[in-house]
Amino acid sequence: MTLPRPKGFTFRVGRPQRLAAVLLLLFLGQCMWVIGHQRLNSEDYRYARCGREMWERPSPLAGYFTTCGNLNGDGTFAYRLAGLPLTVQRWLLLGTDHFRKPEDRLYPGGTLNGSTWEARHQIGYVAYLMHVPFVLFAMWLGGGLWWVARRLFGNEGGFLALTLYCFCPAIVRSAVVPNNELLAMWGLYGLVYTAIGVAHAMHGPRRKWKPRIALLTVALGLTAAAHLLAAILGFVASVILMFYLAKRRRSAVLVIITYAAIGAALIEFACFSFRLSAFFYVFIGGAARFWFALDRVKAFAADVTTWPILIAMGISLVIYVGYRRSRYFGNTAPLAMVLATIFLVTTQVFSNPVLWALPFVFTFIAGVFADVLETKHRRLFLATTGLLVASQVLACVASLRIIAHG
């Protein structure tokens, strides 16, 4: 029996979707192999301890949000994401304890009266529980990158962007450890293209505005929970892009942005468990202080495993400057975000804005290469693309062991 298709349902799982799923599964396989060969270190334990404290008891010390302090320079998102699976497993252990005989229980009375680490010896698969959520967010970003690039540049552009993403050592390295950089990258890319989606929706019926505005609010709030500077950069970019694209609807942009900012502030407040004393450190902690330098760009370029990406970016820039057909909004927007991001250096906390720029780099490369593949030079660029992709795949696979032990 054939089930009726819901009205307005247009998504179908065809060959492109299956091929994208295969690439994402290959990315998952790389990350799982690395996690399986990792050893937990002090940073892992810090994220686990403070993340669990946020979920289970957010005020262990008088005057502080967690034993890590008030996190005035670090986002709460990564801590909560790393600690949630451990907390859930602990709750399940305590829940099942009630169904055991009293003499077989892990804890007298089936409860814990001590610290959040009383159950640490019963929790298993800690490395996977802590690291896999970040891998899933990286896969989510990869899926979003493929969807955006394919929608803008067709199948060839979409798969080029996704392949470079899935076999980028910097992406794999950030996906297999708890960190806010990956989440900031996920949030910034989603925030910018959600804002573009809102601006396009503003030319249509108002009933289509609300879901996208709600998504924009959530994206802004979660990005701020990961890294304040990434949220500010995404917010400014969103305002500029929405004003540019909205045209006759520009009077509504400020209203939408205001509601999104208020909603994002509430999300950030909730991430601090609605504790004003900790939330105020968002404004005085200095996490958004920045300047401009080439340090991160030089460090990225010094890694030989990223050279195929750098070569592809260089070729794309030459074509963008010399080929008029490539200079349109779909290519210019990601290039502008790359230029606005890669030279940033935070002065108060550690961050890596070059990582935030990578999804925009892949989008730009995909757009320019897709343009050239429509010209008489298609065969030459197919060969060039194949060599670059093969080089990147080999470089990434060869670096997995270094990532696991680094």
Q: How far is CA 351 from the centre of its chain?
A: 14
Helices 329-341, 353-372: axis angle to 10 degrees equals 160
Mean pLDDT of the chain: 87
At CA 37, angle to CA 35 and CA 39, rounded to 5? 85
Lowest mean pLDDT among 67-71, 183-187, 199-203, 235-239: 67-71
Q: How far apart are CA 133 and CA 120, in angstroms?
A: 19
pLDDT tens-digit profile of 374-405? Answer: 888 889 889 999 999 999 999 999 999 999 98
9 pLDDT more than 50: no
Q: How far apart are CA 256 and CA 233, in angstroms?
A: 17
Q: Three-state SS for 274? A: coil
19 pLDDT more than 90: yes
Q: What is the pLDDT of residue 124?
A: 56
Residue 224, class by beta-carbon neighbours within 10 Å (0-12 exposed, 13-18 middle, 19+ buried)?
buried
Q: What is the pLDDT of residue 71?
A: 61
237 in Cβ contact with 340 (< 8 Å): yes
pLDDT tens-digit profile of 208-247? Answer: 888 999 999 999 999 999 999 999 999 999 999 999 998 8
Instruction: Convert 128-163 to b/e letters by CB count within 10 Å (16 or more is b).
Output: ebbbbbbbebbbebbbbbbebbbebbbebbbbbbbb
389 in Cβ contact with 160 (< 8 Å): yes
201 in Cβ contact with 212 (< 8 Å): yes
Q: Three-state SS for 340? A: helix
By residue count, the chain amounts to 406
Q: What is the pLDDT of residue 275?
A: 85
Among 101-115, 123-137, 274-288, the range of highest mean pLDDT:
123-137
Q: What is the pLDDT of residue 100?
A: 64
Residue 405, class by beta-carbon neighbours within 10 Å (0-12 exposed, 13-18 middle, 19+ buried)?
exposed
43 pLDDT more than 60: yes
* Percent over 90 (pLDDT), the chain: 62
Number of other CB atoms surrounding residue 235 within 10 Å: 19
Distances in Å between the Cα of 368 and the Cα atoms of 54, 249, 330, 340 are 45, 30, 10, 19
At CA 380, angle to CA 378 and CA 384, rounded to 5? 110
Lowest mean pLDDT among 102-111, 201-210, 319-328: 102-111
Q: How far apart are CA 134 and CA 181, in angstroms?
A: 10
**Nearest of 192, 174, 200 to residue 231 by alpha carbon:** 192
Amino acid (one-letter) located at 118: E
Q: What is the pLDDT of residue 101?
A: 64
Q: What is the pLDDT of residue 192?
A: 97
Q: How far apart are CA 257 and CA 202, in angstroms?
A: 13
> What mean pLDDT comes out for the span 238-264?
93
Q: How far apart are CA 77 and CA 83, in angstroms?
A: 10
Q: What is the pLDDT of residue 179?
A: 94
> What mean pLDDT comes out for the span 358-384?
93
Q: What is the pLDDT of residue 114?
A: 42
Q: How many Å is the Cα radius of gyration of the chain?
A: 23
348 in Cβ contact with 282 (< 8 Å): no
* Sign of the Cα pseudo-torsion (61, 66, 67, 68, in order): negative
263 pLDDT more than 60: yes
Residue 406, class by beta-carbon neighbours within 10 Å (0-12 exposed, 13-18 middle, 19+ buried)?
exposed
pLDDT tens-digit profile of 52-107? Answer: 888 887 655 555 677 776 665 578 999 999 999 988 887 777 777 666 666 555 65
Q: What is the pTM of this model?
A: 0.91
**Nearest of 163, 207, 228 to residue 386 by alpha carbon:** 163
Q: What is the pLDDT of residue 113?
A: 43
46 pLDDT more than 70: yes
Tokens of 240: 């500029």
> What mean pLDDT comes out for the span 103-126?
54
CA max distance for the chain: 79
282 in Cβ contact with 268 (< 8 Å): yes
Q: What is the pLDDT of residue 203?
A: 87
pLDDT tens-digit profile of 297-318? Answer: 999 999 999 999 999 999 999 9
120 pLDDT more than 70: no
